[in-house]
Structure 1
């Protein structure tokens, strides 16, 4: 019932009520509010029962939404099928049209996963052999091929952080 009210809003409402009615009249005002809400609920349920009896079907308060009421009590199944069939065919066409895109994305994801695994395996093998890419004396690379490999490892590490 109070789903949109936070604790601060609720506190502000209570303070305003105390200022308007005062602490001595506030309990009586809250009791009157409770009686009003229960009478409104009873009136709504009685109206739904009367409408149910008049139409001849069971109507719930949520059925009183005009869209739901028309869909449930006025349209026949044929009418409903006639209205929804263009949407179903459009949805089917959209799914068939995007199937190649979905398959291409799936293949690309698999290829990226395989590349990431091979890069990670290669870095683990190099680390296990004790090679860190420098010769220890001047901090330069052992070979020119290790510089791109180092960049690939860095990219794979950032890819692991994202996934």
Structure 2
């Protein structure tokens, strides 16, 4: 969270705070900041203790790193889900029956005989379904 926060930056913030707040108000604000940090830490510890009490002994068995959402890769999850299933037999490909075209559709403008059309099956990809 505070990866770019170095000692020099904290010192600079402290010097600016001394100039803005003045030496007479700075100790009271530092005390308030300390109380705020202690209060937040107590809230976090209280939530942790309450969760342990409510979940019981299963709380210690939970692998929290495994539940980290930053580790999920959708491609890996899909790949593993597809590999778990047994291979599914591909559906049979049904070839369309070619019907003779009516004369008004097969006539060309120049009066030449129409080109024969071959019945071509629609491409089928068994992995996409």
Give TM-score scaled by structure 1 length: 0.34
Bigger relative contact order, structure 1 or 2 (CA pairs below 8 A, ≥6 apart):
2
Higher helix share: 1
Alignment TM-score, normalising by the size of structure 2: 0.42
Larger radius of gyration: 2
